[in-house]
Amino acid sequence: MENNNIDQRIDERIQKGIKFEFDSFFNTGWKIFKKVFLIIAGAVFIMAVPVLIVYAIMMPFLMGIGSFSQYMEIIKDNPYYMQQLQRSPIYLLKQSLLTVIVALITAPINAGMVKLCRDADKGEELRFGTIFSYYKAPYFGKLLVTVFITTLITSGCGFVFSYIPIVGGLLNLGVILVVYVMLSYVQPLIIFANADIGKAFSLSFRLAGKTFLPVLGFSLLFGLLCGLGILACCIGIFFTVAFIPTCHYLIYKHGVGFPEDEVAEEDNSHWQQQPPTV
């Protein structure tokens, strides 16, 4: 889809009314999930390696300790050490920085998973390399900037709400859900419509304002399905995590859609309307 046509397309979609049908959304999502979950599981396993390395390198910086044995000694002497540490402004700032770093490393991979879902939906051959296809221009820089902004907002809110007793956690969760829904179209607009960063954010706000409740509901549902993997000794999360990019893709498909899909539907409709030949 051309960048300069996306505004007009979204205007038309909003004027006609955007509808999310549960049966279509869930059934399509299940079909896509069955096709992509093994590939995404492999990618998540590979992605976990550099993330764990980053955490291992940053842990002394984050917690102010030099070794695991030193950490165990501190915990033994002070069982409330972690609770006290999590109220430290310096620790919270370091934790936010680490969250941003990990998010930046994995941003193009998350986009690649959404693209893989698109290929599965179209019935195309699925390639493992698709997941890593956005480590290139013009998408790489855009994805890094958008993830940096999003993570900065959520980390900043978490830092502020951590100082509010009792209700701080609930307030933080509420803000995270709102931010998630309002920005749910940003990444797909970049990878599917090649939208600029500013346009991706502004259009996502417009779309989310019209589809807030459906996007929130389906995101919670697919997030719950993803979380079920934890019940399988936590290893199952490698497989159920595919529900997340599947949901991201379907939100864009139902909210914005793809012109080529509509052309294919029209061609098929016209073919069915033709009279039979003798």
Residue 228 has pLDDT above 90, yes or no: no
| Positive or negative torsion for Cα 115, 120, 123, 126 | positive
Compare 201 and 103 and report the one with higher pLDDT.
201
pLDDT band at 220 (very low <50, low <70, confident <90, very high): very high
| Long-range pairs, 101-106, Cβ under 8 A, ≥24 | 101/54, 101/58, 102/51, 102/54, 102/55, 103/147, 103/148, 103/150, 103/151, 104/144, 104/147, 104/148, 104/151, 105/50, 105/51, 105/54, 106/47, 106/51
Q: Is there a contact between 115 and 191 (Cβ–Cβ < 8 Å)?
A: yes
Query: What's the chain's average pLDDT?
Result: 84
Tokens, residue 192? 């599917």
Separation of alpha carbons 252 and 215, rounded Å: 10
Report pLDDT for 49.
79
Compare 163 and 206 and report the one with higher pLDDT.
206
Compare 252 and 231 and report the one with higher pLDDT.
252
> How big is the chain by its Cα radius of gyration, in Å?
22
Residue 77 has pLDDT above 50, yes or no: yes
Tokens, residue 70? 């030193």
Report pLDDT for 271.
44
Arithmetic mean of pLDDT, 179-189: 95
Q: Is there a contact between 54 and 105 (Cβ–Cβ < 8 Å)?
A: yes
Residue 81 has pLDDT above 70, yes or no: no
Residue 62 has pLDDT above 80, yes or no: no
Residue 244 has pLDDT above 70, yes or no: yes
Report pLDDT for 128.
93
Q: Is there a contact between 178 and 244 (Cβ–Cβ < 8 Å)?
A: no
Residue 89 has pLDDT above 80, yes or no: no
Report pLDDT for 50.
76
Share of the chain above pLDDT 70, in %: 82
Separation of alpha carbons 271 and 16, rounded Å: 25
Report pLDDT for 278.
45
